Homo-oligomer: A and B are copies of this chain.
Amino acid sequence: MIVILKQNAKKEDIEKFTKQIEAKGIKVSPMVGEHTTILGFLGDTTRLDMDDIMAVDIVESVRRVQEPFKNANRKFHPQDTVVRVGKQGVPIGDGRLAVLAGPCSVESEEQIIMVAKEVKRLGATVLRGGAFKPRTSPYSFQGMQADGIKLLLEAKKETGLPIVSELMSIRHIDLFADIDIIQIGARNMQNFELLKEIGRCDKPVLLKRGLANTMEELLMSAEYIMAEGNQNVILCERGIRTFETYTRNTLDITAVPVIKKLSHLPIVVDPSHASGQSWLVEPLSKAAAVIGADGLIIEVHNDPKHALCDGAQSLDFGQFEKVMGELKQLRETV
């Protein structure tokens, strides 16, 4: 950590500040220029808060040199993490492209089983399906909730596919006992109490990037989970909010190689939510595949035109089959 002091900082104040920091077991190395003094803080500065340092009256600005995340940091864990999902241990992060597919919302037993069978046949290795749905409006369909979870487990029994579904509240955690991957949605990426709670289970977690969160903040949220003990975190890039209005969000495809560089955790891409339009799922999936994503999470519906939510971005079976074919061909090259 580098601390730039104000031009008029008095010698005695600098000394006092230095002692306070050294008392925390951190070495302070000063660099005295003609107009400016800079202090370098050496050692484990992860526990130092930049805002606390900024508040010291002789401090002009502060800059981290080390990344503030440890468990998620590739520097301390050079090998790729492979997360194993469900009883069969379906791998995510092993160099192959995992496809997690299914409807936005579970709507009925018939629907979820039909979709599960079909996406399995076409190559998906995990079934996604929403039972609890975060909706901007309280008047929109909120998901089938507990009943939806039951139907997902039916589909799992029927097809053997492990399940990923979104958890929105600590209250529902028991319902998710047999769900294989707990999804934390974009809106809850910084719901720190929820992160801590799921950090205490050993179940895989799919952590989606928040709409206005930086890559570093995503990794810090992963760190919340990992610091509690759960190392099975899968990150997800699903588009960020920008000024562009043609697409629902702006897919930050660059996040894939950057996250792979900074962290050993697997990262998947969600082209359905990023674009909000089904015709964009194929091109974005291909881009994600060649840029190194560990997987894709794709909305597939038996009848997108009559879906209860987010139908505009869901693929029908024919479209999904086409995407899977294209991806297969691409991956064979790469």
Taking each of A138, A196, A216, A280, which has the highest tally of chain B beta carbons within 10 Å of its own beta carbon? Answer: A138
B139–A284 CB distance below 8 A: no
With A33-B42, A65-B36, A290-B290 known as contacts, the answer to whether A169 contacts B170 (CB < 8 A) is: yes
A136 sits at the interface (CB 8 A)? yes
Alpha-carbon separation in the docked complex, A160 to B227 (Å): 40
Give the segment of A86-94, A113-121, A150-158, A241-249 that binds chain B: A241-249
With a cutoff of 8 Å between Cβ atoms, the chain B residues found around residue A135 in the complex are: 49, 192
**Which A45-62 residues have a C-beta within 8 angstroms of B?**
46-47, 49, 51-52, 54-57, 60
Q: Least Cβ distance of A49 to chain B in Å?
A: 5
With a cutoff of 8 Å between Cβ atoms, the chain B residues found around residue A290 in the complex are: 283, 286-287, 289-290, 330
In the complex formed, the residue of B with least CB distance to A59 is B312
B220–A137 CB distance below 8 A: yes
B34–A42 CB distance below 8 A: yes
Alpha-carbon separation in the docked complex, A306 to B136 (Å): 38
Give the segment of A77-85, A122-130, A174-182, A207-215 that binds chain B: A207-215
With a cutoff of 8 Å between Cβ atoms, the chain B residues found around residue A194 in the complex are: 169
A232 sits at the interface (CB 8 A)? no
Q: Interface 1/0s, chain A 178-206, versus B by CB < 8 A? A: 00000000011011111010000000000
With a cutoff of 8 Å between Cβ atoms, the chain B residues found around residue A251 in the complex are: 252-254
Contact partner of A187 (CB less than 8 A), chosen from B139, B141, B191, B333, is B191
9 contacts between A and B (CB under 8 A): A2-B2, A55-B306, A57-B305, A216-B246, A240-B243, A242-B250, A247-B254, A257-B283, A284-B291
User: Which A residues have a C-beta under 8 Å from some C-beta of B?
Assistant: 2, 4, 27, 29-36, 38, 40, 42, 46-47, 49, 51-52, 54-57, 60, 63, 65, 68-69, 132, 134-141, 168-171, 187-188, 190-194, 196, 210-212, 214-217, 220, 223-224, 227, 240-247, 250-254, 256-258, 261, 274-275, 279-280, 283-284, 286-292, 304-312, 314, 329-330, 332-334
Given contacts A46-B139, A257-B284, 12 further A-B contacts (CB under 8 A): A27-B33, A55-B311, A56-B311, A134-B192, A170-B171, A212-B212, A214-B245, A250-B252, A250-B254, A253-B253, A254-B283, A333-B333
